[in-house]
Structure 1
Amino acid sequence: MSVGLPLAAAPSPEELLAEPARAPSGRADLVRSLFTYTPVSLASHLLGAAVVVVVMRGVVPDERLWWWCAVFGVLWVARLALAFAFSRRRHPTPLDAWPRWQAAWNTLTLLAAGLWGLAAWWFYGWGDALQKTALLMVIFSYCAGAVPLLVGQQRIFLAFASLCFLPSVAVMLLQPSTSDRGLALVMVLIFGLTLLLGRNYQRAFHRVIELKARTDHLLVRLQQEKATADAARRAAEVANRAKTQFFAAASHDLRQPLHALGLFAEALRGKSQDEEVVQLVASINDSVDALEGLFSELLDITRLDSGGVQVSPRHVAMQEVFRRLRLHFEPTAFEKGLSLRFRGGRHAAHADPVLVERILRNLLANAIRYTDDGGVLVAARPRGDRLLLQVWDSGRGIAAADQDRIFEEFFQVEPHEVPADQRKGLGLGLAIVQRLARLIEAPLSLRSAPGRGSVFGVSVPLGRMAAVDPPAAVPARRGGPTLAGRCIVMVEDDLAVRSGLEVLLKGWGAQLHSFDGLPALRAWLADRAPDAPAPDLLIADYRLGQQDSGIDAIRLLRAAVGAALPAVVVTGSVMSHLEQEAQAEDFHLLMKPVAPNRLRAMINFKLARG
């Protein structure tokens, strides 16, 4: 795709150098320079004419002197009028107007040169030596002064010099005095030196024109390349946005069946006591978790590369961040027989809570994945005006040779030594951590030794607890699988996911009201008895039909049964800023596919809090 002016539209340096006054840009610059110096030229000519009149008055016949002055005055006024007309021309000047301005200026200038030659022819024979010298000096001064002005027009300069000098040489040769004839030879020599001076100026002018031509040529190429680069950048931005939107849409669409698969698998486990079936269900859930990790890593990298992550720092209590991390990772750590501890929740950080939590999530997921025995500690420790967030593990550790590479994309430490059930992901988790740390300007550190575990740290500004709402107490985990006596409202437009959730929640003993969208929910609320007991929990998908959302379902149901209704929103879209909406609307967010144990932990937490 070509953008901007083609190179052929600009005059080449060779064209400008060969005919500088004929090239469009060269002619325009030349004409502008001619008219720029016209006021100075007119003033100097007027001064020279006054000198000639003063020197020759009373020597030359008055009639001849005043005739010359009259012609000079008419010519001087004509040149002044031309300069005034040029200054009043319309902009931009058409290309075909520049030659006419140049021809008019050259004509009047040559007439002025002829008038000075006529002054030498008429006045030289009447004066004495002083008067003749003064006359010749005036004429030579104007001829020499025209060198830089007419250097771009070699033939016009030659004509100008000839009209000034040749009448002077001719009238001196016609004088009977030998000194006058000798002076004629001197004038011929001066004429030759003037032409040589003009030639040197001409060469210098050619070099200037050549440099300007090359500059103009490069400028056009630069503009063309800049336009091409801008077009390529815009195309890349469009492609990047399209890629991000594609990943987001693909993630949402693929997470739906994965989410349903996990729910059906868990429902199957609850209905079968066969050990082989239980193992198959566990394998299905592991595969679903691995795919969810791949989607999250790819989308995080895409968002960071496209600049789609905005930093919004505020004072945040670490206890609140730790509570969410505990809720998310405690089941995973328990399954592996690891202890998961949190220290320093009484401190606060001044940073973007979503990005800080994402950094700790990735570090914590890595720590649990690569730790087989012992435990994981997440700590917050003040260090001056900074808060050091650390994730300690008692895992395998990282060799010194690999510590500089683990933050690279797609790099995984010794994958052949990692058990098959832990070879998950693309090796993007720590790369995402590093990019997020750079985004929030938080230095990242690592200490590790093989066989002795690892400590990852990130330093953020220390916050103020006074500016943070006190964290809610973490309720004790409820024992037992039953939800008997609990009324749960579910809004989900995907048939497979809705069916899986219905089987799972009813298997846990819940009384369930299931709807495929807001219209069905409104109809149920309209038919519901005023004294009917309020639901205990709402579970809604974020994207519903007809441009509705789970947040709309929360508002609708809370308006009917009370603002204290606990709510959980389940979504497969990770590109939106749902974390901020969750805080504003007081609901918790679960990302699809949701592992059944995580769903159960969240339900227990919300019911206990409610």
Structure 2
Amino acid sequence: MLQHTLERSARTARDAGGLGSLFWRQSIRTRILVIALVPSLLTAGVLTMLLLQQTLAAAEDNARADLLSAARHMAAASQYALISGDAGLLQRTAEQERVQQNLLFTCIQNAEGSARHCAGTADLRSMPAVPAAGAIAEIPGAWMAAHPILMPRTHGNSDMSAIAPAAPALIIGYAIAATSTEPLQTTQRRALLTAASLIIISALLTAFLAWRLSTRLTRRIQHVSQAVDRIAGGNLQIRVEADPSTELGVLEDGINRMAESLQAHEDELQVRIIHATSDLAAKKEEAERANTAKSRFFASASHDLRQPLHALGLFGEALKQRVNSSELKTLAAQISSSISSLETLLNALLDVSRLDAGTIEVRKRHFPASQLFDHIRQQFEGPAAAKGLKLSVRPTSWILHTDPVLLERILINLVSNALRYTPDGRVVVAGRKRGSSLLIQVWDTGIGIPESALENIFEEFVQLNNPERDREKGLGLGLAIVSRTASLLGLRIGVRSRVGHGSVFELEVPLGSTQHISQAEAPALAVAASLQQRLAVVVDDEASILRAMESLFKTWGVGIVAGHSAEDALAQLGEIGAAPDFLITDYSLADNVDGIEVARRFRAAYGADLPVLILTGDTAPDTMQRIGDAGYKIMHKPVRPARLRAALAHLLDKDAHGPGWQDSSFGPVSG
């Protein structure tokens, strides 16, 4: 029982709360109208009902009193006629009373009711019994009252009459009067109509006054709201016309003061922003200058190192092909190995510069992932076994759609890093389908990466566990190149690691289709065109490089015209009367001449289809961008003789290369 009572109370409170919530969700104008109308309507209704009740009661009482008075008057007037039995006089009295009192009908009858004298529309058959004196009987559409007609008293002369009690009056008849209730009903209807009119007029007047009041109030509130919206939109100059003498005026004045305060704070903030922006611009400019200086330093240092390294590599290759002694061959091989290590370190810097410059061309095609995985297995099985590690490359049959060369370089760097930082255990390369991509993962059981370092490992020159900066552990550029290359290919790369348990690097590669695999695909530098009996023209302002190129080309059976400048080489060609098969020129020459200008002069002399290869040790991004925009092929010093020979064969095979080809392959970069 108690629980039922509580539930009912809760429902009542919830319903009341629902109505209250509905009320407060309305607009201010609606709430003001409701607050004004409801009490006024209730008050007007109650007062009108009370007044109406009193009016109707008074009208009914008056009608009853008039009817009883008419019956008494007619009883007094018909007393003599009834005693004398004058029927005519009784009839005239009844008619006269009916007309004078505006009654519905009148009747005078004797005590026995055997003789009646009526006037008006009386239906004697339906007339009820004569009501008692002072009482009113209701008949259809009318009220009826009766008053007894009494025999007059006689006063005797005996002495006993003075002390004897009075005898009851003798009733000799009744005077009956009836009046219609229609006038009273008409009065009631008029009273109701008047009451309704008063209520309506009161409601309209109240609504009008409430509307005027709410309009003035809401108009000011709307102005305040609009001002707040403009202030929120940033227009802090807006102000509201305030009347501090009213409560709303206090609010308006507060909003104005708030806007003034915000304006002051904004002005102060603008000043701070200007100063901060100026400081930031200065620091940005300083950082850009430092970055430009760094790039110039790397480019200059790289160029200065590449020139002799390039010549050294060419001399080393020529030496290997000319010596016959096993001891000298071993020495030449050691020289070539040292040159190769130094070239790898320099190429790491070159790769970063080329990626930052955006000069690497992405060539997407459809190819089997198994081919890529086989290359990884063949390249790293030996190094893994030499370190006592197990390399597991799990087979896959999926087709990929991306640049196979750049993707292979990413995996080469990841696997190389995994082998370097795994003292024992194994390295696993695997791929599994995820949606419309293949998730390629490189797992290792190495030393792992601290969680605090995961966000920094893709930055330049970041190395873990190499505080002494041992060159054998790399430069810290490998993962930076991986990140940039993945971004260039539009691939997402991720890493998860636990210290002491190992790491996993993964990237999602879009899946391709077997229908789009070209059967004629071949490695980009595997063109087997012969260079023998060709005439090459080489332009370089370094005498050592010209001598090295002459020695190398002679071992290849290639004729060569070597000049320190375009004028020198053109003059030599003019003397022998021969046209070159291809041009190799350095980019940076003496007297501020560049390789692009040399190439244009030779093509002007020997045709626009003359194959041109520009060699440079300059790794500045703008230099690479300029050569690429000019449409010439580019290779960076130092160039390994085998790659140079393959590139020239590719360049001379007009069906094997397209416009815009450049040396876009990366080598694996340490750490």
Instruction: Please give the TM-score of this superposition, normalised by the length of structure 2.
Output: 0.44
Q: Larger helix proportion, structure 1 or 2?
A: 1
Q: Larger strand proportion, structure 1 or 2?
A: 2
User: Which has more radius of gyration?
Assistant: 2
Instruction: Please give the TM-score of this superposition, normalised by the length of structure 1.
Output: 0.47
